[in-house]
Amino acid sequence: MCGIVGYVGEREALPFLTEGLRRLEYRGYDSAGVAVLGPSLRIVRASGKIAALADRLRTEEPNGTTGIAHTRWATHGPPSEANAHPHADCRHRAAIVHNGIIENYGELKGELAARGHRFASETDSEVLAHLLEEGLQAGKSLADALASALNRVRGTYGVVAISEDHPGRLAAARLGSPLVVGIGRDEYFVASDAAAILGHASGVVHLKDGELVEASAEGYVVRSLVSAPVDGTVERLEGTVAGLQKNGHPHFMLKEIHEQPDVLRNVLRGRVDMEAGTSILGGLRDVGDRLASLDRLSIVACGSAYYAGLIGKRMIEEWAGIPVEVDVASEYRYRDPIVTAHTAVCAVSQSGETADTLAALREAKRKGALTIGLVNVVGSAVARETDAGIFTHAGPEISVASTKAFLAQVATLALLAVHLGRRRGLPSASARAILSELERLPRLIASVLEQAAAFRTLAREYGAERDFFYLGRGYGLPLALEGALKLKEIAYVHAEGYGAGELKHGPISLVDAAFPSLVIAPRDSVYEKTRSAIEQIRARGGRVLALTDEGNADLDGLAAQVIRVPHVSEALFPLVGIVPLQLFAYYSAVQRGLDPDQPRNLAKSVTVE
């Protein structure tokens, strides 16, 4: 969601702060600002993109070796300079940046105003600056003043503070909103995403909930909010600066779509044992006995990860014979889920910090379930809090709309399904056939990417449409849901994903010549039924764009346009079929003059409920 960077050391802070903000642009934001501590505290903020802030900084360049910066995604108060972070106290001697939600801010704001504090914004975050001010005026250290402030609040936070009262220091804490501490030589960095500090830090400490760090050029100390010492483990910083570059592509989204063959190779690397006919998932080794006794698996996720979970459900039920439920994570803990000692709950999240998914995971753990994390980010909250886990190895995903992370999640769930299946009687020959086909998919996906120009042409043809149905059955249904989500997210088209079998139960009333349908129709076990849905649409004057496999000429003349991808087995079709849907959405956004990397109102990692 919002982006945070902070620096304390011996060099000028501003260059790092502005570079860090640019690296976090992909998270989505509507305003930005910096606060630098030199002889005095100077704050520069701007509504809009970082370019607007950069223009301000050309004439108001603050100097100093300690600083914090922020990109805001509006929650309390509209996008404006006044509501942008950093926020200062009444004396303009201290400043904070904050990600998260302060639930009791109204109550606290009333108390502070009654004591004479003057507020300059409509945000919930500003109360932290004034609570910090009271601690500092009472003579507390920066860390103690921040801890005292945070002990008054209810909600979630990733927060960093600096103050003229304690020059050359910064303090930061987290609860439900990620923060990492980067370790340098005589300098330290804080960020909400490790992408901001790649190339600067040699290692990182991932703050856990309820932990606080205070740092200066001389070193850093990690502690709890109640001053108990914490042994913050320094971990290797994953990723490279090259992963944050477009490498000649006009947008990160297109680059990441084209990275998918390599992403799939990374998912499979070292995890396929063809001789034994199984997948090797080292992160599950310690929970093998509990996996053997499972009678039910629940998958909890949000957005694209939820749709990946729907595909995983079918794979696991088909290959392992384990009943699987898939829950939207934001609903899971509010329905009093039934959990036993033989239930596993798998949390699927690209960032590993999605607030609703974390809340669902914690509810499952509280009830005694075996918890499994399927995430892309090493050191994330989901990775740390689950009993076992599997990393997807998709690499940094910069575009807000998920593409390669979705594909990596589906492929990893396929490996999990094989792994569980071999424990439940899946024949080794069947497992080898699945794994062999998975190993062929990178080449097949690359062949689909070679058709990119055709998808650009289709986007031009449908560029004026305001509505779209995406229809599918079987494995095609979650693919339809994900394809519709992509078109909604980045091209701002009203797109509905629906089961093709549900068309006649109401939605078909919308079908006419102005409401086209993209129908996912591979030659699978439900092909004839899907074809029947196309006939029904045609009978009502609707136009059909069909996605099928190579060699199928049956839809020629029935569909207005036909997209063909290499023929693969029914269960693995989503891994090939998703690529045209991603490209169609991407080129539709470009055709409409929109930025596919930073769609309006959206954030990359949703860390508030």
Q: Residue 437 — pLDDT band, cuts 50, 70, 90?
A: very high
In a domain, 236, yes or no: yes
| pLDDT score, position 244 | 62
- Digit-coded pLDDT (tens) for 416-430: 999 999 999 999 999
Q: Cα–Cα distances in Å, from 237 out to 282, 379, 453, 459?
A: 21, 10, 38, 39
In a domain, 556, yes or no: yes
Provide the mean pLDDT of the chain. Answer: 91
Shared domain check, 375 and 320: yes
| pLDDT score, position 25 | 76
Shared domain check, 413 and 385: yes
| pLDDT score, position 489 | 94
In a domain, 603, yes or no: no
In a domain, 607, yes or no: no
pLDDT over 70 (residue 77): yes
Active site residue 604: yes
Catalytic residue among 140, 313, 404, 604: 604
Shared domain check, 187 and 324: no
Look at the chain and report how many structural domains it folds into.
Answer: 3
pLDDT over 80 (residue 603): no
Mean pLDDT score, 116-130: 95
Domain boundary, last residue among 414, 448, 482:
448
- Digit-coded pLDDT (tens) for 460-474: 999 888 999 999 999
Mean pLDDT score, 481-502: 94
| pLDDT score, position 193 | 84
CATH code of 227's domain: 3.60.20.10
Amino acid at 465: E
Parallel, antiparallel, or unpaired for β 94-99 and 170-175? unpaired
Shared domain check, 346 and 219: no
Shared domain check, 509 and 469: yes
Q: Which two tokens stand for residue 545?
A: 């764009």
**Structural domain of residue 185, as residue ranges?**
3-244
Shared domain check, 491 and 405: no
E strand or H helix that includes residue 581: helix 573-591
Q: Which tops the pLDDT comparison, 241 or 517?
A: 517
Q: What is the pTM assigned to this prediction?
A: 0.78
DSSP-assigned states of every residue in 19-62: HHHHHTGGG--SEEEEEEESSSEEEEEEES-HHHHHHHHHHS--
In a domain, 96, yes or no: yes
In a domain, 602, yes or no: no
In a domain, 608, yes or no: no
In a domain, 606, yes or no: no
pLDDT over 60 (residue 608): no
Q: Which two tokens stand for residue 277?
A: 């006919």
- Digit-coded pLDDT (tens) for 96-122: 999 888 999 999 999 999 999 999 999
Active site residue 140: no
- Digit-coded pLDDT (tens) for 356-395: 998 999 999 999 999 999 998 877 888 888 999 999 988 8
| pLDDT score, position 243 | 59
Domain boundary, last residue among 393, 419, 448:
448
| pLDDT score, position 61 | 83
Domain boundary, last residue among 244, 274, 291:
244
Shared domain check, 147 and 180: yes
Shared domain check, 13 and 135: yes
- Digit-coded pLDDT (tens) for 147-170: 999 999 998 899 999 999 999 999
CATH code of 438's domain: 3.40.50.10490
Catalytic residue among 2, 109, 255, 486: 2
Shared domain check, 143 and 34: yes
CA atoms within 13 A on the CB side of 169: 17
| pLDDT score, position 241 | 53
Mean pLDDT score, 187-192: 94
Mean pLDDT score, 259-280: 94
Task: Pick from 51-55, 218-222, 226-230 the range whose average pLDDT is largest.
Answer: 218-222
Shared domain check, 326 and 414: yes
pLDDT over 60 (residue 607): no
Q: Residue 475 — pLDDT band, cuts 50, 70, 90?
A: very high
Shared domain check, 225 and 365: no
DSSP-assigned states of every residue in 303-314: HHHHHHHHHHHH
Give CA–CA dist 187/201, Å, rounded. Answer: 9
Q: Residue 295 — pLDDT band, cuts 50, 70, 90?
A: very high
| pLDDT score, position 245 | 66
Shared domain check, 408 and 265: yes
pLDDT over 80 (residue 260): yes
Q: Which tops the pLDDT comparison, 243 or 231?
A: 231
- Give the range among 211-215, 375-379, 526-530, 544-548 with minimum mean pLDDT: 375-379
